Amino acid sequence: MIVFKAIKHWFARRKVTRRNRALGTDIALIIVLGIFGLFSLIPLWFIIINAFKPLNEIFIFPPKFYVINPTLKNFKDLFTLIGNTSIPFSRYIFNTLFMTVLGTFGAVIVSSMAAFPLAKYRFPGQAFMSSMIVYALMFNGAVTAIPNYIIMTYLGLVDSYWAIIIPGLGSTLGLYLLKNNMIYIPDSLIESAKMDGASEWKVYWSIVMPLSKPAWITLIIFSFQGFWGNDGSTFLYTEKLKPLTYALGQITAAGIVRTGVSSAISLIMLAVPVAVFIISQSNVIETMAASGLKE
Amino acid sequence: MSKRKKLQSMQWKNAWRLHKSKYLMILPFAIIFLCFSVLPVVVALILSLTDFNMLELPHFVGLENYKNLVVNDDIFQIALKNTFYFAIVTGPFGYLLSFVLAWLINELPPKWRALLTLVFYAPSISGGAYMIWGLIFSSDSYGYINAWLLSWNIIDEPILWFQTAEYIMPILIIVQLWMSLGVSFLSFIAGLQNVDKSMYEAAAIDGTKNRWQELWFVTLPAMKPSLMFGAVMQITGSLSVSGISTALAGFPSTDYAGHTILTHLSDYGSIRYEMGYASAIATFLFFLTLFVNMLVQKLLRKVGE
């Protein structure tokens, strides 16, 4: 009886909240969502559970969607391996942290500084530069790999942190997103600050930056993802300069004997950027709302 | 003529005086952009006209590289065909998938919306996560697909997924689709949340009867900027596949079935060191991406007109 009442109530509410929505289509669309959700989730699910499988379960036939005897052995083995590398493992962590923190901080400053005048003022060259940014979005980094290497060599930056950090500072996507968000900052705020005698730099730092916080947090995420995924193999040769991603990749590359440890590494490689995204999801969505390409 | 030049330089001086701090703010970005985006394209363009091989001084060879590329290089024809095949399936389909899933998620309660956004977006953020597909489609009986097919008695012996030319492309397409809900997907989610709710009510009064009419008459026109941005991201991504091909199908793949323009580029660039030729491939890809983008932008502008 209660169940029947609840269903009736649900239908009555549905009529109000889901106006213009046919029930059949609702169900069909939820099924579609479910199918693609599973397609997306299942490989991720395997990455997660494999990390906790003992070796005999990783090679069980047929593969299971769950762990019978969950273990932390893979992670323990990883820590033992880490303790025995020729270069202390903390060095790889330091390299990644150094490049990521400096690169991300620099990218936020460099991009936001350029985004502010392009978003808020009209001056000679402004329209040209704005359209250049849109074209640059269509650009693929791999195309310029060879010339970039030659340029890096000329600048004497090969085999140093700067070969990784400096190109990352000029994030076109970052500049584009920041600019599109700064457009919505009211002009009156900027003008009244200027009446009080604030310089452009002061306006940028104490008005524009605080108001575009979601946008630069988003840039931090994208920049972090970029540095985290970069194993530096093109530009870094000296072992003690190489980042964490490279070191973990080397452990995995040892092949089938490292299967257990590899699955632990896969989970770590996945979990870090996902965790960073979860923390900042609302900021990212707020920023992307202004990502549209205007004519 | 010189008078006009003088006037022009005076105008720029004036602009500099008036907007000095603005130009200074842009300067750091401009320098990095010029050094690592504009200059490389120019250098690639110049190198593509030479026979540069990293050892000897480059000689000017004119359009020789391009001629060889188009006329003599059979492997490039395969790479081109594969890239187009790949881009035509994953580009539009990934784009559509991004939009449709964002649209479906948009009607869910906030908690479900956040969770599903994460599930769909996660594959694209973690650089090496796609390696799990190597295990799923592994060619021995431990590969998940093989194991299931074997245990259900559908096949008698493991299928050599990544060693069979016909299977390579379809699998790479599946993997790419799995990873294709990236920046454009987020842009759509955000764009949908920002469509003014009162517009739906107004449209309902004007007579929209179901979600499809709402989608066509209200949502799509309101989201046009997001749709254009998403298209740029998707096209550029789908034309530049190489990482997943090399990592999963190996290099060179069986019968070059997973060979793309970019793997061809890295073959000549980082294995054979024929930099002039590699630069010609790079320049070709650069203009191809630009051209396809322009074309799609033109098409998308027509939405809702």
Mutate to test the interface with A, among B19, B51, B111, B126 (most CBs of A within 10 A): B126
- The predicted model scores a pTM of 0.86
Euclidean distance between CA atoms A95 and A88, whole angstroms:
12
**ipTM of this predicted structure:** 0.85
Residue of A nearest to B222 (CA): A292
Residue of B nearest to A20 (CA): B210
Distance from CA of B290 to the nearest CA of A (A): 6
pLDDT of A102 > 90? The answer is yes
For residue B214, which residues of chain A lie inside 8 Å, CB to CB? 20
For residue A44, which residues of chain B lie inside 8 Å, CB to CB? 119, 122-123, 129, 132
For residue B26, which residues of chain A lie inside 8 Å, CB to CB? 113-114, 117-118, 129
Mutate to test the interface with B, among A138, A169, A179 (most CBs of B within 10 A): A138
Percent above pLDDT 90 for chain B:
21
Token representation of residue B235:
């096209």
Mutate to test the interface with A, among B24, B34, B36, B52 (most CBs of A within 10 A): B36
Token representation of residue A226:
């970029």
User: Could you say which of B26, B194, B235 has the minimum Cβ distance to residue A289?
Assistant: B194
Q: How many CA atoms lie within 13 A of A278 on its CB side?
A: 12
pLDDT of B188-234, one tens digit each? 988 888 788 888 888 888 877 788 888 888 888 888 888 888 888 88
User: Could you say which of A44, A63, A147 has the minimum Cβ distance to residue B123?
Assistant: A44
pLDDT of A93 > 60? The answer is yes
CB A104 within 8 A of CB B198: no
User: Could you say which of B119, B193, B293 has the minimum Cβ distance to residue A138?
Assistant: B293
Mutate to test the interface with B, among A288, A294, A295 (most CBs of B within 10 A): A288
For residue A150, which residues of chain B lie inside 8 Å, CB to CB? 43
For residue A63, which residues of chain B lie inside 8 Å, CB to CB? 142, 144, 147-148
Residue of A nearest to B8 (CA): A124
Residue of A nearest to B114 (CA): A281
CB A141 within 8 A of CB B239: no
Euclidean distance between CA atoms B104 and A257, whole angstroms:
43
CB A215 within 8 A of CB A287: yes
The per-residue b/e assignment along B101-119, b for 16 or more CB within 10 angstroms, e otherwise, is bbbbbebeeeeebbebbbb
Token representation of residue B94:
């990934």
Q: What is the pLDDT of residue B304?
A: 55
Q: What is the pLDDT of residue B262?
A: 87
Q: pLDDT 10s digit of each residue in chain B, 305 long? A: 567 778 888 888 888 888 888 999 999 999 999 998 889 889 999 999 998 887 888 888 888 899 988 888 889 999 999 999 999 999 889 999 999 999 999 888 888 888 999 999 999 887 677 888 888 888 887 788 888 888 888 888 888 888 888 888 899 999 999 988 888 898 898 888 878 888 888 888 887 778 888 888 888 888 888 888 888 888 888 887 877 888 888 878 888 888 888 888 888 888 888 888 999 999 999 999 889 888 888 888 776 55
Euclidean distance between CA atoms B110 and B130, whole angstroms:
28
Euclidean distance between CA atoms A29 and B120, whole angstroms:
16
pLDDT of A30-88, one tens digit each? 899 999 999 999 999 998 998 898 888 877 777 888 888 888 888 888 888 887 777 88
pLDDT of B85-120, one tens digit each? 999 999 889 999 999 999 999 888 888 888 999 999
